[in-house]
Amino acid sequence: MPKIKDLVYVTLQFSLILGYFFIPRFLAFELPNYIQIFALILSIFGLFIIVLALIQLNKNLTPFPSPKANAVLIKEGLYRYVRHPIYTGIIFFVFFYALHTHHLPRLFLALLLYGLFSFKSIYEEAMLINKFAEYKNYQKHTGRFFPRLKALSP
């Protein structure tokens, strides 16, 4: 049975994502075509990150912030560079797709989603620290949503 806080975070997340796709378009803004194309490419890149991170998470995948009882700490693949690559992919997709579609309300919801992921990841990481002794060290060397420059070097 999921914890109440897990249910709250997941409900907020799915509500924001659902709202993102169904919010009426108003307050549209104009962007040059090259920015629209670049934003579309980055939003597709976000989808690619999501799919790859889901595959790499494999049996550890859960919709809730609390880790599964039999979870193992993954530090390979995308998880070598960021601790929450699924959130990274979602952030990329919603932000850049909002730019691509000139949709100011979607841009606002993308910022709200980023804020929610910030709080949700703090809650999630507190549990991961308790579950995995090496998580604190992993935090020191790996960015939360975006890679640290040091992590990108060989």
**Domains, the chain, ordered by start:** 4-17+32-147 (1.20.120.1630)
Helix or strand holding residue 74 (H, E): none
Over residues 21-77, the pLDDT tens digits come to: 999 888 778 889 999 999 999 999 999 999 999 999 999 999 999 999 999 999 999
Residue whose C-alpha is closest to residue 135's, from 50, 63, 72: 72
Beta bridge partners of 82: 143
DSSP state of 81: T
The whole-chain average pLDDT of the chain stands at 94
pTM above 0.85, yes or no: yes
For the chain, what's the residue count? 154
Over residues 5-19, the pLDDT tens digits come to: 999 999 999 999 999
Compute the distance between CA of residue 42 and CA of residue 128 in angstroms, rounded to an integer.
Answer: 30
